[in-house]
Chains A and B, each alone.
Chain A
């Protein structure tokens, strides 16, 4: 019955109940899903995988789901690390990859309008042919869809200059849980009420499905140059990064690795075998301006007693920036690992780093703590901390319990010191339980929005701590 109705919308080719399709949508990049799969446990599976090709099809599918109260989990690239795309309540997985039309490149306004199921790398290549770029270049660019980035407020390697995805969005088309199709205002800066873009950005498919977006694009810069430094310790590196940002220079990237990660990853991937904290930064744009800003940033690093490793060591990092995420360089089963990314103001970020490190090293001696600071703002920066356990318990339930304990303690340490639950990977299934602790009374406002837009709780149930009573 349900299959017939869905088939009537998308056709028999675009609905699947095959075991391989169900499996492929039952494991995303969330470590627990990987663990479950690795240990032969049954992962939660959808009843139907549906591939709509238009906004209207999405709307019709949601109307059916809303009528029958069937859970719907939107799926983009499936490369999220928080379990946000896992169909934990079964029902329909709505795979968005067939909604991928590039509608318009507006060279006057410097915007692109595109369906959200498009693979981000494919979009970038299309834009590059036209001399532009979204400048949204995360490591997951090759696998994630635009919709995935919108869903969890993703960020790219050049975010320090070009912003996170929420800074790039001009307007969006959204299908609400009842099938209604709405559009946000044509510009993101106005005084015409609250910005609806920001309601749906980061909502992880719990409030509806974003089907189309208009984004800013940028010209390809004349040059992009890099410089690397080695600081005796992390604090000095942090101070140097803060000084660059507070002087209001505009680096496109700053990345500072703590001593442990410099030893572990920078050595392995870039071959730099040195004690200390490795810092790389870059500027892009017209060469004259880049050189001027670069000179100023180098001076600030010199003042903090950084050892200048030169441009080559910076360029090497840029050239290999995604290598860290490929096997065998990336952490992998049977290791347990997690990215405790958080963000705080400059006066607090150092303490957040230290508090999480102390929490993990004190409570979980079997774990290694490493981190780097990769997205910088005028007021603070993001900490990409990670824990790694080389030999977690063999029993998946024990491993999961340990894993969740680490997250709880580490993130509470972060929140107590001015950090938040997450900076750019989202909340998903992984961190939903901590949302009330983070937001306090303000979580009521998020719950009220959810109840109002999705009274039947069909949209991505079980995620973000929403719709769980």
Chain B
């Protein structure tokens, strides 16, 4: 049983039963005078799925980008996989943003070959395996710029899965999708959860992501409003294959 204990409502949340792989200590992020994150103290446990909720501008994407090492905290410190700089652990982190982070002019398979080349020092999935894992046909020759939004998001997830990261940071993976595509994406995320990956996912579609969440983390105006441990659906890989 892993339950988070609230140390100081509104500022600090930690749990100590499972090894944490991300630790934020009083992390704040300012853009000029705008405070995007306010003194966030959190620990993210290995193998858990965290669903980040909150309104637009609550700081969800900024928090993910800080954990990914794409933004430096203005104040406070962060450790990811015991590295004081998340960038030093970047080969173990998979980050998927709102945008697909793929080249429009290349096919999905060409994109995968290219990105696999960037992770050549890490044991990677084969490009066609990554695409098959997200139910995309590797033989599809169309450039990704001509894909539907759902297909692009899945191709983007394939890029993230390629280097087999231990920590998945998924920013709005269900955005701009129809219901069927969103359910398909959810099944893919669920498969990663079943495989024991640590997942931090932001969404506005709480009802969609809640079934796979170990923790629901709500941000409000850059601060942690609540962190609720929940009993998610059991991890049964055979039941969640897309």
Are A and B physically bound partners?
Answer: no
* Residues of chain A at the chain B interface (Cβ within 8 Å): none
